[in-house]
Structure 1
């Protein structure tokens, strides 16, 4: 480097925010829900960023898992429909069970999507 020091947050003057104990509790809870430190949470909110909740990412991860399950189940069904030699022992009961499993997985996916779209009740 050419002798210039980079400016960091720790070298700058901090902001102070006075708040009541219940306000502080709420801010800390919101920061925790967002998976951020209180300082990081307040910095992002103060600059106008919308802070996403960690549970949204958990729901998305769950949807990815369910989508993978549907893909595998669909692949098995496709093999059976093409009269693949590997699916010769599959009977009608097995296929009906597979279709039931696909429907159940679609219901799981629908429930998770609904929980993401509908506003959450205050906890």
Structure 2
């Protein structure tokens, strides 16, 4: 049965069409960015799949790491805040401001990540 499904999935059909030189260059560049052959890139586009470029995925990965770093920073800050002696050297309003800034940065990263994923 599995052998039969493999034969049914074999690609026999061809589609021929013409594009301008500029369109061909754009298609090849977009395929390269997605690390796909031109044929696979066009096949995915044609069946409704939006290929994701590796550059796009690398930016997402960068944002994930930044968000993780912010989480670790928040954890370290929390650990620092549990030491009354260290906290007594700083104004509490400054600490609260720092916590708000960390949270705002985290929320901004989250928004950017969501926009990237939805494009």
Identify the TM-score tier after normalising by the shorter chain. Answer: 0.5 to 0.7
Counterpart of 1:65 in structure 2 is 65
CA spacing shift, 1:107–1:11, aligned 2, 3 Å: closer
Question: Cα 1:76–1:21, aligned 2, differ >3 Å: closer, same or farther?
Answer: same
- Give the superposition deviation at 1:79: 1.0
Give the aligned length.
113
Q: TM-score, normalised by structure 2?
A: 0.63
Give the helix-richer structure, 1 or 2. Answer: 2
Partners in 2 of 1:2 and 1:8 — Cα distance? 10
In the alignment, structure 1 segments of 5+ residues that lack a partner are 119-123
Aligned pair in 2 of structure 1 residues 53, 5: CA closer, same or farther (>3 Å)?
A: closer
Distance 2:3 2:61 in 1: 45
CA RMSD between the two structures: 4.2
Unaligned runs of 5+ in 2: none
